[in-house]
Amino acid sequence: SQKIEQNSEALNIQEGKTATLTCNYTNYSPAYLQWYRQDPGRGPVFLLLIRENEKEKRKERLKVTFDTTLKQSLFHITASQPADSATYLCALDPNAGNMLTFGGGTRLMVKP
Amino acid sequence: KAGVTQTPRYLIKTRGQQVTLSCSPISGHRSVSWYQQTPGQGLQFLFEYFSETQRNKGNFPGRFSGRQFSNSRSEMNVSTLELGDSALYLCASSLESAIYEQYFGPGTRLTVT
């Protein structure tokens, strides 16, 4: 069966450190993968999109990698801040038609 | 540019009733998708509309339906509400189909009692 898995346990890190979140998928061949941030009671906010022919993408303190062989994406936040505390969701679109399938999300807590 | 708006923000309904939720996409966005978010199942895709046509549908019963108007605004309807329909319903818009990021609204929190 098709699955998108993220670490369901919260990730606690110290301010200033690099946070690394993992997204693994099975039985998908996505053309691209997206990462979103969600704060409690709010809708997800788009962060980064990476295509299958891109190994790495960066935006300010964010970096995403996409390994189609391992079927895994890693999401990094460098120099993390307490304001980065949120749930981070990975999503892929099996049919490239705006029907995103989301992972369960990983809650990140950055402690000052 | 104004973001995606959803109305109402909160709703309490009784089992067996029906409900209509509304979504106004970002100006210029023609694709509108709907998602259901629950603690147990996470975010799940309901359906997607583009140019007033439903192009994709998720694995939800026929009680869940939607439509899109010529101005790209969209509504979703849930008939014969069940307790398990209690959830955050999120609408997202994007420019076109395929490989575009989606912009989510704040959601409508539906509670079925």
pLDDT, one tens digit per residue, over A93-102 is 877 667 889 9
Q: Which is more confident, A101 or A1?
A: A101
Q: How far apart are CA B29 and CA A1, in angstroms?
A: 33
Q: Which phi and psi (to 5°) does residue A84 adopt?
A: -80, -5
Residue A2: its pLDDT value, please? Answer: 79
CB < 8 Å to B99, chain A: 31-32, 49, 51, 93, 96
Residue A110: its pLDDT value, please? Answer: 97
Q: Are A62 and A69 in contact (CB under 8 A)?
A: no
Residue B75: its pLDDT value, please? Answer: 98
Residue A28: its pLDDT value, please? Answer: 86
pLDDT, one tens digit per residue, over A22-62 is 999 998 888 889 999 999 989 999 999 998 889 899 999 99
CB < 8 Å to A102, chain B: 35, 42-44
Interface of A with B in 41-80 (CB under 8 A): 41-46, 49, 51
Please state which of the ranges A14-18, B19-23, B52-56, B103-107 shows the lowest mean pLDDT: B52-56
Listed residue (B7, B16, B2) closest to B76, CA to CA: B7
Share of chain A above pLDDT 70, in %: 97
Mutate to test the interface with A, among B7, B48, B99, B110 (most CBs of A within 10 A): B99
- Alpha-carbon separation of residue B47 from A5, B2, B55, B89, B92 (angstroms): 22, 23, 8, 12, 11
Q: Which is more confident, B9 or A41?
A: B9
Q: Write out the E strands in chain A.
A: 3-6, 11-14, 19-26, 32-38, 45-51, 56-59, 62-67, 72-77, 86-92, 101-102, 106-111
